C-alpha cells in the first residue's frame, strides 16, 4: 500500500469516532471476547477530551483514516507524576506491513510528552505482534494479571 501521503494528526474524540467508525468494528472483531461486550462509553471519552486528559491521534492516507491511537492522561495516585496509558492502538490490516503502527506509537509518545507526561504506559495482549514490538523497543516495568468474576 502506498503511504507516501501518510499524515498522523491529533483529533478530537468526535472526529475520531466519525472518521474511524469503519475501523472500530474491525478492531472490535479482532479483540472479540465473548466474556466482555464491546460497548464504548462515548460520554466518558468526551469528558476526558474536554478535560484535556485524552490523546487521540488518527493516521490518514489521502484523507481516509487507516489507524488510530487513544491514550488517557492522569496524575498518579501516590507519586508526583503525570502518566499516560494507551487505551487503543489499531491499524487497518491492509496497512500493517509498513511502519504505520510504530509511527503511531512514536507520535503518541511525542504528544504525551508535549502534554507534560513523564511516562507513557503501553499494554499489549500476550503473544501479540504489539507485545513483540514493544518488548524489543520499550522497557517492561509491570505485568498485568486478571481474575474474572
Q: What are the boundaries of each domain within the chain?
A: 6-137
Please state the rounded mean pLDDT for residues 114-140. Answer: 93
In this model, does residue 2 exceed pLDDT 70?
yes
End-to-end CA distance of the chain: 44
Query: What is the distance between the alpha carbons of residues 17 and 14, in angstroms, rounded to a whole number?
Result: 5
Question: For residue 40, what pLDDT is reported?
Answer: 78
Question: For residue 38, what pLDDT is reported?
Answer: 67
In this model, does residue 35 exceed pLDDT 80?
no
Residues 6+ apart with CB under 8 A from 68: 11, 16, 20, 23, 56, 57, 58, 59, 88, 89, 90, 104
Question: For residue 28, what pLDDT is reported?
Answer: 76
What homologous superfamily is domain 6-137 in, according to CATH?
Gcn5-related N-acetyltransferase (GNAT) (3.40.630.30)
pTM of this structure:
0.90
- What is the share, in percent, of the chain residues with pLDDT greater than 90? 72
For 68-93, the pLDDT digits (tens) are 999 999 999 999 999 999 999 999 99
In this model, does residue 34 exceed pLDDT 60?
no
Residue 66 contacts residue 110 (beta carbons within 8 Å): no
Amino acid at each position: 500500500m502506498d503511504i507516501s501521503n501518510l499524515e498522523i494528526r491529533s483529533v478530537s474524540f468526535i472526529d475520531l469516532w466519525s472518521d474511524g467508525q469503519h475501523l472500530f468494528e474491525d478492531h472490535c472483531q479482532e479483540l472479540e471476547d465473548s466474556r466482555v461486550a464491546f460497548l464504548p462509553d462515548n460520554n466518558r471519552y468526551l469528558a476526558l477530551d474536554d478535560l484535556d486528559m485524552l490523546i487521540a491521534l488518527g493516521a490518514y492516507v489521502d484523507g481516509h483514516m487507516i489507524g488510530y491511537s487513544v491514550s488517557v492522561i492522569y496524575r498518579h495516585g501516590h507519586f508526583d507524576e503525570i502518566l499516560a496509558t494507551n487505551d487503543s492502538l489499531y491499524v487497518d490490516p491492509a496497512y500493517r506491513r509498513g511502519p504505520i503502527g510504530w509511527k503511531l506509537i512514536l507520535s503518541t509518545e511525542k504528544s504525551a510528552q508535549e502534554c507534560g507526561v513523564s511516562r507513557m504506559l503501553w499494554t499489549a495482549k500476550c503473544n501479540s505482534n504489539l507485545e513483540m514490538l514493544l518488548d524489543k523497543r520499550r522497557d517492561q516495568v509491570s505485568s498485568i494479571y486478571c481474575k474474572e468474576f
